[in-house]
Amino acid sequence: MTTLTLGFLFIGLLVVLVLAGMQIAYALLAVAFTGIWVIRDNLGLAFRMLELTAYSGIADYLFATIPLFVLMGLLVSVSNVGRDTFEVAEELLRRLICGLGVATVAANTVFAAVTGVSIASAAVFTRVAVPEMKRHGYRAAFSAGTVAGSSVLGMLIPPSLLLIIYGVLAEVSIGGMFIAGIVPGLMLAGGFVAMLMTITVLFPRFVLTDPKASRERRLDRTREPMPLSTMVAKLVPIVVLVVLVLGGLYTGYFTPTEAGGVGAFGALLVALARRSLNRRKLWQVMKQTGVISVSILLLLIAASFYSRMLSIAGLPNAIADLVAQSGFGPYGFLLLYTIIILLMGMILDSTSILLIMVPIAAPIALGMGFDLSHFGIVTVLAVEIGLLTPPFGLSVFTVHSTLDDPDVSIEQVFSATMPFIAVMLVVLVLVALFPLTATLFL
Amino acid sequence: MSANTTGEGAGTPDEDAYVPPFSEAPVGAILGGLAAILSSIGTAWIGALMLLIIADVVGRNFLDAPITGVSEIAARSVVAIVFLQVAAAILQRRLTRADFVLRRLEGASPRTLALFETVFALAGAVIFALVLWASYPKLADAWRTAEFFGVQGVFTIPTWPFRLITVVGSGLAALAALYVANDEIRKLRRAS
Amino acid sequence: QETITVNIGSSHPENNIWVYAMKNTFQPEVDRILAESGEYAIDWMESYGGTLYKFTDTREAVMDGIVDVGMVGTVWEGANMPLQNVTYFTPFATEDHRVIIEIFDDLSENLPELKDSWAENGMVHLSSLITDSYDIYATFPVTSLADLQNRKLNAPGTSANWLQETGATPVDGALTTYYTNIQTGVTEGTLSFASGILPTRVYEVAPELTRVGIGSMYFGGIAANMDFFEGLPAPVQDAFRQAAQATSIAHGDYVADLAARALDEMQAAGLTIHELPEEEKAAWVNGLPDIVEPWLEQTGDEGRVVLKAYFDALRERGIEPRRAWDEGL
Ligand code: NA
Ligand code: NA
């Protein structure tokens, strides 16, 4: 049996264990350890690689931003900045079809400008938007799917951990990547809105438990509109945060990696200013930050160990050969590349996919005449779809576990995100075909 | 992962529910207590990391006095934070998983469910024991050779405390997973 | 014919200056030499580009046998292999990177202190890796040391030492962050070398190069795992040694070509080159505090021997370092 065949067998084993419900980190670590042992026929090597990965697999400033972005998300949530943003969006979009869904997307788009990881958006808006949508006759699973789907905006609209990692791997300007992400991010938000409205008209039962009540609410003219002053007051904190984070980035006060720390501190100040924190509550928020972060970071350690096993099995080289020898033109290459990423997205986390694929593909892409910023946005879009695809979809996991509603199963959330995946694929194709969408402001 | 992952749920009384009273389950109480202590250190560390970054940004921009080594310290901190908190996460059963098969089993065959859970928890215990086993020699080396990170004459920080956290954290995680396994075995007995 | 499997790898991609000659000279040279007798052949298992381990782990990867042959960046091993970092603590020695390769190929094999240091870490040194000369790439030209006052420059790790007493503030970073740092104003320039600056396009945002002559640095080596190497048949060991010599030459040529091409291309793209006046260079290096002192304290007698051997070797080749860091040893 070739090592590559073994590699594929171990991918199969991982999928089985994950589907059976094993803790994903355990499954990744166990399969990778066995894999290295078997493929190299060397138990000692498996031990040494395990130690190396545990000690330094995620020892990187980039990963230190994850708990900080999560902390910022929770502080924004506890000080009700997320809720206020959502309420203003809701008020402005009340008369739209699927107004609350659209409001979720809109609030996520604004929130994306301060957070760098999608997990933070997913956790915040599960708490803020899902109860409100349920209350107004939206299906719980659809609401959860909407939150999961729109959370991917957090990683495309700057600041973004994935764009930082891509920039580092492909040696392109991270500031440039951030700018390149803006238009595709807005396209994605616009696409989500159009999709939500279309689906609500065509398949109201997919969206609503009680379409009639929702319609009545939408057309209700008796409701008191929110005064402009209230609206402004509710928006000030999020605007302050956006200005602090993006302004600080583009005037050179801090680097993209430092944005997580500054953003978290800014959110802390906002929370203190709004008197929504006492010492005890702050400690609770920090503890939750720890719990959410550790589950993500442990996954990243495990995934990095697993991708090293795949590397020992020769997978990256096999992919490189496949890509190089395919003999396709630039667009054939891009198609093959995105398909590989989409497949990997089903079983691997975003960072590992970037780590495996970007060093292989970026030089080829450059040789084929692609602009590396454009190529990076295509890559990150494809990688982000993996946040929503089963069996390993981190955003869906986050929404599902944050919601903790026995009536909403994880399969229902996965299926409710399918329309979002469709929109992402459309945007992916558009961005791939029209590089200007990414390079317009570069 | 489980509920209460956002601020709105903050302050709910079940935060430390994974630590049982000593009179009922002494082993669980000690294990849970230790995990809670380590986890608190990890929690405080995240706050300290934020303040360190702020201090560096302010120092560099307004005082011409950046803090050297922030990126290395932050890098090592992430790993420390993970291993300080992982035991508590295991006891709280908050590690990410896809549970749709398990949920089906819950109604259909609680016995099979407990069996699955036992196997998974034991796997976790073995995995963290492997990490402990693999990491311990490097801790000894780091102590013996006074290994550091940073640059001689600029800043140096010893690595042994970080390696110690990996060793202690994975050891406690293995025990925590064993404790969960024991819990599941008890359920298995009750179900049969 | 016997086929031997060799796992070869690196934390950096194949087009990186320290990896390029491994893939493009070392491997084909070994193959070529072994093909002459036809007794042995190598089956290369390549893991370039950090898919197996990160740059912080290059020593452990070779030492632990994760790869049999690898690029080892001793620059990142200040705790475990401090002796190899002598050049970083003795700046302004020479700008000729080929001389550094030649000296360290010799010393790593013939100076017991250095050879043993590789052996203690379970490795056999095959071929030296270096950087071309460090200079200042910035948004401003440096005509005198006064121009450095209150400037923020990217100078990570040991290079932070070189800015002591210059009035400039060293800011952490890496080749991959310089562009963004300078573009957004986090820093105003960087201490770096041409072959590293070209691929990261830092010259676009830092179009003023001032040659200050901090010099070429020993970066690390291509090394083999010791158990693996000693288990090889003698003819294969010989082939590795010969190929390593060719690799050293190819590495020197590649860096020279790349640096020259980099300067041409960067100038075509608008880079202006300035030369810091001689007396300013002297003022800089002599104004530095005794930065080699902490290193000597750490490395003790062995450090003294290595520093002396390195500086003697420079002088034997007619190079007088701008500051006699070995004075009084
Ligand atoms: Na974002
Ligand atoms: Na997925």
A123: CB partners within 8 A, 6+ apart: A70, A73, A74, A77, A292, A398, A399, A402, B5, B6
Is A342's pLDDT higher than 80?
A: yes
Distance CA C218, CA C77 (A): 13
Q: Please name which of A341, A307, A41 lies closest in space to residue C65, comparing C-alpha atoms.
A: A41
Judged by a CB distance cut-off of 8 A, whether residue C65 touches chain B is no
Which band of pLDDT confidence, cut at 50, 70 and 90, is reported for residue A265? very high
Work out the number of other CB atoms within 10 angstroms of the CB of residue A121. Answer: 31
Q: Which has the minimum average pLDDT: A110-124, A232-246, C124-138?
A: A110-124
Q: What pLDDT was estimated at residue A32?
A: 92
Distance CA A262, CA A231 (A): 26
Q: Is C319 helix (H, G, I), strand (E, B) or coil?
A: coil
| Closest alpha carbon within chain A to C11 | A359
* Tokens matching residue A393: 């979809």
Neighbours of chain C (3+ CB pairs under 8 A): A, B
Distance CA B24, CA B36 (A): 18
For chain B, what are the domain ranges?
Answer: 23-191
Distance CA A328, CA A243 (A): 44
* pLDDT, average across residues A362-366: 80
Q: Please name which of A416, A384, A382 lies closest in space to residue A399, comparing C-alpha atoms.
A: A416
pLDDT, tens digit, 9 for 90 and up, residues C261-270: 888 988 898 8
Q: Please name which of B79, B131, B98 lies closest in space to residue A24, comparing C-alpha atoms.
A: B98
Is A412's pLDDT higher than 60?
A: yes
For chain A, what are the domain ranges?
Answer: 3-439
Across chain C, mean pLDDT equals 90
Judged by a CB distance cut-off of 8 A, whether residue C82 touches chain B is yes
State the DSSP string of A37-89: HHHHT-HHHHHHHHHHHHHHTT-SHHHHHHHHHHHHHHHHHHTTHHHHHHHHH
Is B1's pLDDT higher than 60?
A: no
Is B175's pLDDT higher than 80?
A: yes
Distances (CA, A) of C143 to A97, C91, C149, C185, C277: 66, 20, 12, 21, 7
Q: For residue C297, how far is its CA from the centre of ligand 2 (angstroms)?
A: 52
Judged by a CB distance cut-off of 8 A, whether residue B1 touches chain A is yes
Q: For residue A151, how far is its CA from the centre of ligand 1 (angstroms)?
A: 10
Q: 């052996």: which residue's tokens?
A: C119
Distance CA B164, CA B146 (A): 13
Is B8's pLDDT higher than 60?
A: no
Distance of CA B97 to the CA centre of its chain: 17
Residues in chain C within 8 Å Cβ distance of A317: 46
Q: What pLDDT was estimated at residue B6?
A: 32
Q: Is C125 helix (H, G, I), strand (E, B) or coil?
A: strand
Is B5's pLDDT higher than 70?
A: no
Distance CA C113, CA A266 (A): 52
Q: What pLDDT was estimated at residue B44?
A: 92
Distance CA A93, CA A393 (A): 29
Q: Which has the minimum average pLDDT: A83-87, A322-326, A379-383, B40-44?
A: A322-326
* pLDDT, average across residues A370-397: 90
Q: Is C153 helix (H, G, I), strand (E, B) or coil?
A: strand
Which band of pLDDT confidence, cut at 50, 70 and 90, is reported for residue A87? confident
* Tokens matching residue B156: 């140096």
Q: Is C136 helix (H, G, I), strand (E, B) or coil?
A: strand
Q: What pLDDT was estimated at residue B14?
A: 45
Name the more confident of A13 and B13.
A13
* pLDDT, average across residues C61-90: 91
Q: For residue C134, how far is its CA from the centre of ligand 2 (angstroms)?
A: 45
> Which class for A34: exposed (0-12), middle (13-18), buried (19 or more C-beta within 10 A)?
middle
| Closest alpha carbon within chain B to A286 | B43
Q: Please name which of C288, B130, C279, C150 lies closest in space to residue A47, comparing C-alpha atoms.
A: B130
Judged by a CB distance cut-off of 8 A, whether residue B17 touches chain A is no
Q: What pLDDT was estimated at residue A248?
A: 84
Q: Which has the minimum average pLDDT: A27-36, A255-264, C87-96?
A: A255-264
H or E element at residue C218: strand C208-225
Is C53's pLDDT higher than 80?
A: yes
Q: Please name which of A2, A208, A12 lies closest in space to residue A99, comparing C-alpha atoms.
A: A208
> Which class for A339: exposed (0-12), middle (13-18), buried (19 or more C-beta within 10 A)?
exposed
| Closest alpha carbon within chain A to B42 | A290
* pLDDT, average across residues C68-85: 90
Q: What pLDDT was estimated at residue B4?
A: 31
DSSP code for A226: P
Residues in chain A within 8 Å Cβ distance of B134: 47-48, 50-51, 54
* pLDDT, average across residues C83-93: 92
β-pair partners for C273: C209
Q: For residue C199, how far is its CA from the centre of ligand 2 (angstroms)?
A: 33
Q: Is A159 helix (H, G, I), strand (E, B) or coil?
A: coil
Q: In this structure, what are the phi and psi dihedrals at residue B149, rounded to the nearest 5 degrees?
A: -115, 160
Asked if C87 and C97 count as a contact pair (C-beta separation under 8 A), the reply is no
H or E element at residue C220: strand C208-225
State the DSSP string of C245-289: HHHHHHHHHHHHHHHHHHHHHHHHTT-EEEE--HHHHHHHHHHS-
The 3-class SS string of B121-138 reads HHHHHHHHHHHHHHHHHH
* pLDDT, average across residues C186-207: 86
Is C238's pLDDT higher than 60?
A: yes
Q: What pLDDT was estimated at residue A96?
A: 80
Across chain A, mean pLDDT equals 85
- Among the bound ligands, the one closest to the CA of A391: 2
> What percentage of chain A reaches a pLDDT higher than 70?
99
Q: Please tell me the pTM assigned to this model.
A: 0.85
Is B16's pLDDT higher than 70?
A: no
* Tokens matching residue A404: 């903790």
Asked if A108 and A154 count as a contact pair (C-beta separation under 8 A), the reply is yes
Is B192's pLDDT higher than 80?
A: no
B58: CB partners within 8 A, 6+ apart: none
Q: Please name which of C152, C161, C191 lies closest in space to residue C175, comparing C-alpha atoms.
A: C191
Q: What pLDDT was estimated at residue A360?
A: 72
Provide the shortest C-alpha distance from residue A189 to chain C (in Å): 27
Nearest to A410 among B6, B40, B98 (CB): B98
Asked if B78 and A64 count as a contact pair (C-beta separation under 8 A), the reply is yes
Distance CA A124, CA A258 (A): 22
- Compute the CA torsion angle C126, C35, C27, A312 (nearest 10 deg): -110
Phi-psi region of C232 (alpha: psi -120 to 50; beta: other; left: phi over 0): beta
- Among the bound ligands, the one closest to the CA of A392: 2
First to last CA, chain C: 53
Is B9's pLDDT higher than 70?
A: no
Which band of pLDDT confidence, cut at 50, 70 and 90, is reported for residue A82? confident
Distance of CA C75 to the CA centre of its chain: 7
Q: What pLDDT was estimated at residue C61?
A: 92
Work out the number of other CB atoms within 10 angstroms of the CB of residue C292. Answer: 25
H or E element at residue A428: helix A418-433
Q: Please name which of A156, A62, A105 lies closest in space to residue A384, comparing C-alpha atoms.
A: A156
Neighbours of chain B (3+ CB pairs under 8 A): A, C
State the DSSP string of A375-406: HHHHHHHHHHHTTTSSSS-HHHHHHHHHH--T
H or E element at residue A421: helix A418-433
Judged by a CB distance cut-off of 8 A, whether residue C42 touches chain B is no
pLDDT, tens digit, 9 for 90 and up, residues B92-151: 888 877 777 787 787 788 888 888 889 999 999 999 999 999 999 989 988 988 888 887
Q: Please name which of A58, A45, A71, A131 lies closest in space to residue A349, comparing C-alpha atoms.
A: A58
Name the more confident of A392 and A186.
A186
B149: CB partners within 8 A, 6+ apart: B72, B76, B156, B157, B159, C78, C79
Winning range, highest mean pLDDT, from A62-76, A89-103, A337-351, C128-142 = C128-142
- Compute the CA torsion angle B149, C175, A354, A303 (nearest 10 deg): 0
* pLDDT, average across residues A354-365: 77
- Give rounded-to-5 percent helix, strand, coil for chain A: 80, 0, 20
Residues in chain B within 8 Å Cβ distance of A287: 15, 39-40, 43
Neighbours of chain A (3+ CB pairs under 8 A): B, C
Best of C83, C85, C171, C172 to substitute, by most chain B Cβ atoms within 10 angstroms, is C172
Is B2's pLDDT higher than 70?
A: no
